[in-house]
Structure 1
Amino acid sequence: MDNVNIGPKILAANWTEAGIATVVVCIRIFTQIKVVGRVGIDDYLILLALATGLINTSLMTVAVHWGIGRHIQYLEPAQIVAAVKFEVLAQQPWGVVAPTFARVSFSFYLMRFVGQSKPMKRTLWQVIVVQTVSNLTTFILVLVQCQHFASMWDPSVKGRCWNPIIPINVGYAQGAINTFHDLLLTFLPLFILKDLSIKLRVKIILVILMSMSIFACVASVIKTIAVGNLRKRNDFTYRTSSFIIWLTIENYVSIIAASVPSLRPLFLSFTRKPTTLDNSYEMRPGGQRSGYLRHSNSRMSISWAASRTATHKETTAHSGDGSSEDNILAAQPFKNGITKTTNVTIQYGSENKISGIERTDMDEEMYHGTLK
């Protein structure tokens, strides 16, 4: 068996993916602050996902330095201990929680589009809760599988450990749950967007952007299959390389897939110049208009419904008697004649109070930010 070293390839893949994910997340946060004008819980969660992913990659870099990616027979005992130690520390908890934060972040992002749909909200909350509980449970089980945590990488530390098949089966269960949720988050946007009254072109674009979790799903499947390599202790430092590669792909693809849909307002800002008041609205039954009110400073959108009520009042000039009509007429430049007064009432309502979601131009809504 040749003394090969695939460690540099592992690091090249890790840091390339980390760099791409970092750029995407930075652009996302810039978009939320400068274009949309708000930073939500999904944005904070994606920052946590990126931070934990970078910690995982940094620790894995140290593991590769000590021998991960090389056949175990070419390593000194001290190198083996250090390599396995930093790989374990990289995976637990950082390699576990990074994609978890990304999936939970994307679930909160989709919450903005479901309106008052209780089934959709329940589904997304199920993803959030199960993701958190299942991955936290996996991390705890890894911590307690040995009487002394250090005995996982150092044979000189004596203590009882579970049968190796138990953590392997836990890894399979965790991978199955994560894969199912990736698949669910891939197709859920189809059901969320299908009933929205938006242009077909915009709907197709949004579905494509929101369905990028399919790539995370593929990575999760392959990583779960590679879990079996963790039991091959006779050449652990080399055979575990495929698991590390796909774990990293799952981490950063989940982060990128959860962030790309949030970049659309920035792209639209390059092609659409904001104005103080957008006149693109449709007439609703009863003479009501619906549309979007643009604020040139904050660039935030406010959902609005405006109704016009014209009240005609006929008044004649007469001696003042202290009435309200006299006071109004006193402010007019002409004392005689008929005055027509038009009262315009604009009612503002928050998105979460609107029953259902109706949009005639999702381009405008996405330009200023998604539903609150």
Structure 2
Amino acid sequence: MASTATDGPVDRSRQTAMVAVTVIFTFFSTLAVVLRLIGRFVITRKLGIDDWFMIGGMIFTYGYLFEICYGLNYNIGLHGSDDTLDDMVHLLQIVYAIQLTYNTIIYLVKTSIVTFYLRLATVDSGLRKASWATIIFLTLFWFGSQTTSTLQCLPVQSNWDLVGKYKKKCINTEAYFYVLAVVNIIIDIVILALPIRTLKDIKRNARDKIVLFVIFGVGGFSCISSIIRLYTIKVFTDSKDPFWDGVPINIWSMIEINVAMICASVPAMKPLFTKSIRDRAVTSRTRHGYAHQMMPLSGEERNGSGLRSTRFKERKESTYSAHATGGATLGGSEEHIVNKLGGIEYEREFTVEESYIGSSKVLPKGKSEP
């Protein structure tokens, strides 16, 4: 560890708290994402795009954790009076990198949540359009925030210049940090509100609906963390000791992103704890595999061994699934719609693939259950 600038006892309370919080919350978010992926494989045997976004967010979170731990070499989390000039330069470089890492994690996690909503949008075009609009906004906002954060002071080296070596030009970084934090909070609220109508239209009793809203609403904890983080930014910008008062920003940033990953992974975990869902998934895969192997044939045809195999004509079943593959069930009652076309019957089976909604039906707008 680098030597300190002053003699006497060093207050490491915030440094210890920051490291403890980042390690503990990263551990639990990692556990949540792992359980999410296991739960996904129980149901679908494959990952969706929302899972890949979440994995990306998890990888960058490890990067954030590394940046904080690397900062221990330069007395991150101490009072400015306990840092040498070399420490301060390196800490400002780490802060610069953390800004870019944080923006990327927020983008990946929020996009993961919204792409998961696209799974719910199979029968809700309004949710689909709103989700795509949100994804586009998130992408543009990430690109803009990354560009602005990278070029907030020019030349770039002036971001950690403490001796006036460079003649720098900077944006109003205080206003920029506020805008960034406020927009992220607004996005959190929008994301929480997006699926409300779809969840409201699911045909379940009041108790089950409450459970669904609670499951989706746990993301509100991340929103609360974002609001607290906004307050820590105010403390930091008003501080006369930014190296000390910048610690709570890192603490609440790590809480925010890790809680968001945990909350977003909760729905996909349910198959691991619900036997009926696991049984239904296994039964569904077995049924589809058997139907594929026993496909009826018509006419006669020689097989590879020279023997005749008889094709016989009977009802042809074509099974389609309307999946909410991230955790939602859209037509889980397995309703059968049979149309006779030229003497051939097609039976379309709308099944539930996901976990936390069970066998709910989503009723089209303006329709009621008979």
Do the two structures share a fold, i.e. TM-score over 0.5?
Answer: yes
| Alpha-carbon distance, 1:83 to partner | 2.0
Q: Tell me the CA shift for residue 11 of structure 1.
A: 0.4
| Per-residue deviation, 1:49 | 0.6
2:15 matched residue in structure 1:
7
Percent sequence identity is: 18
What is the match of residue 184 of structure 1? 190
Alignment of 1:73-152 (within 5 A): 73-91=81-99, 93-152=100-159
The answer on 1:66 being equivalent to 2:66 is no
Structure 1 residue 52: Cα displacement: 0.7
**Residues 230-270 of structure 1: CA deviation (Å, up to 9, x unaligned):** 43574121011111111111111111121111111222247
What is the alpha-carbon distance in structure 2 between the residues aligned to residue 94 and residue 276 of structure 1? 40
Distance 1:275 1:249 in 2: 34
Is 1:41 matched with 2:49?
A: yes
Instruction: Kindly provide the CA deviation profile for residues 45-78 of structure 1, in whole angstroms up to 9, marking residues without a partner as x.
Output: 0000111111011101222441222110121111
Cα distance change, pair 89–269 in 1 and its aligned pair in 2 (3 A): same
Partners of 1:63 and 1:87 within 8 A in 2: no
| Length-normalised TM-score, structure 2 | 0.74
Comparing 170-179 with 360-369, greater Cα deviation is found at 360-369
Q: Which structure 2 residue ranges, 5 or more long, are not aligned?
A: 1-7, 293-298, 300-311, 324-328, 335-349, 361-370
Structure 1 position 148, deviation (Å): 2.2
Aligned to 1:158: 166
Q: What residue in structure 2 maps to residue 349 of structure 1?
A: 320
Separation (CA, whole Å) in 2 of partners of 1:84 and 1:72: 12
1:16-27 to 2 correspondences below 5 Å: 16-27=24-35
1:241 to 244, 247, 250: 247
Shift of 1:367: 4.5
Which of the numbers 46, 56, 66 marks the counterpart of 2:64?
A: 56
Give me the TM-score of the superposition, normalised by structure 1. Answer: 0.74
Equivalent residues of 1:111, 1:121 under 8 A apart: yes
Instruction: Give the deviation of 1:33 after TM superposition.
Output: 2.4
SS of the residue 2:169 aligns to: coil
- Over 3 Å counting, the alpha-carbon distance change for 1:195 and 1:359 in structure 2 is farther
- The answer (yes or no) to whether the contact 2:43–2:353 under 8 Å persists in 1 is no
Q: In structure 2, do the counterparts of structure 1 residues 275 and 149 end up closer, same or farther at CA, with 3 Å as the change threshold? A: closer
RMSD: 3.3
Conserved 8 A contact 1:229-1:243: no
For residues 243 and 130 of structure 2, the distance between their equivalents in structure 1, rounded to whole angstroms, comes to: 40
The answer to whether the 8 A contact 1:65-1:83 is kept is no
Q: Which stretch of structure 1 is more off in the superposition, 93-102 or 126-135?
A: 126-135
Number of the residue aligned with 2:38? 30
Partner of 1:315: none
Q: Which residue of 1 aligns with 2:226?
A: 220
Seen in structure 2, the aligned counterparts of structure 1 residues 140 and 264 have a Cα distance that, compared at 3 Å, is same
After TM superposition, the structure 1 stretch with the greater mean CA deviation from structure 2, 120-129 or 21-30, is 120-129
Q: Offset of 1:25 from its aligned partner?
A: 0.6
- Asked whether the equivalents of residues 25 and 47 of structure 1 are also in contact (C-alpha less than 8 Å), the reply is yes
CA deviation map 1:139-160 (0-9, x unaligned): 2112112222222123244131
Offset from partner CA, 1:10-40 (integer Å, 9 cap, x none): 0000010000001111111122224431210
Instruction: Give, as a single letter, the amino acid of the residue that structure 2 aligns with 1:263.
Output: M
Matches within 5 A, 1:187-206: 187-206=193-212
**CA spacing shift, 1:350–1:274, aligned 2, 3 Å:** closer
**Quick one: structure 1 residues 256 and 297, their matched pair in 2 at CA, closer, same or farther if it must change by over 3 Å?**
farther
Q: Is the 8 A contact 1:56 1:94 kept in 2?
A: yes
Structure 1 residues without counterparts, runs of 5 or longer: 278-293, 303-323, 325-340
Sort the Cα spacing of 1:348 and 1:141 in 2 relative to 1 into closer, same or farther, 3 A: same
| 2:343 corresponding residue in structure 1 | none
* Matched letter for residue 170 of structure 1: Y
Using a 3 Å threshold, how does the CA distance of structure 1 residues 15 and 270 change in structure 2: closer, same or farther?
farther
User: Number of paired residues?
Assistant: 310
1:276 CA displacement: 6.9
Mapped to 1, the partners of 2:250 and 2:282 lie a distance apart of 51
The CA distance in 2 between the partners of 1:268 and 1:175, in whole Å, is 38
- Identify the range of structure 1 (46-55 vs 228-237) with the bigger mean alpha-carbon deviation: 228-237
| 1:37–1:298 CA contact under 8 A, matched in 2 | no
Contact preservation (8 Å) 2:268, 2:356 = no
